[in-house]
Amino acid sequence: MIETAYILITLDRGTPAEVAQEVRKIPGIVRADVTMGEFDVIAVAEMEGTKGFSPLASRIKAIAGVDRVVTCVVVYP
C-alpha cells in the first residue's frame, strides 16, 4: 500500500528555495514547497509502506543548512 508523509523542515542557514530544490531530487519526494512560518520547507513523500520514511528523513537532514526534520505519516482510520 502506498503511504504518504508530510516532512516539515527547519533550516539553520541557507536558502529555502535551494533546500527545496535538493529535497525534490530525493526518490520518494513528490512535492517540496517553501513556506513562511515555523517551517521553511514542507515536503510530501509517498512510498510503499512506512519503513522508508526514516531513512528519507535522514537523507534530508544531511542536506546543508537543514537543522530539523519532522515526519508526519498520514493515518487513515
Predicted pLDDT of residue 1: 87
Going from the C-alpha of 54 to that of each of 12, 13, 26, the distances in angstroms are 21, 23, 13
Q: Give the chain's domain count.
A: 1
**What parts of the chain have a pLDDT lower than 70?**
none
Whole-angstrom distance, CA of residue 24 vs CA of residue 76: 25
What cell was used for 62? 544531511
The answer as to whether 58 is a domain residue is yes
Domain membership of residue 24 as a residue range: 12-31+53-67
The answer as to whether 21 is a domain residue is yes
Predicted pLDDT of residue 70: 98
Predicted pLDDT of residue 11: 97
- What pTM did the predictor assign? 0.93
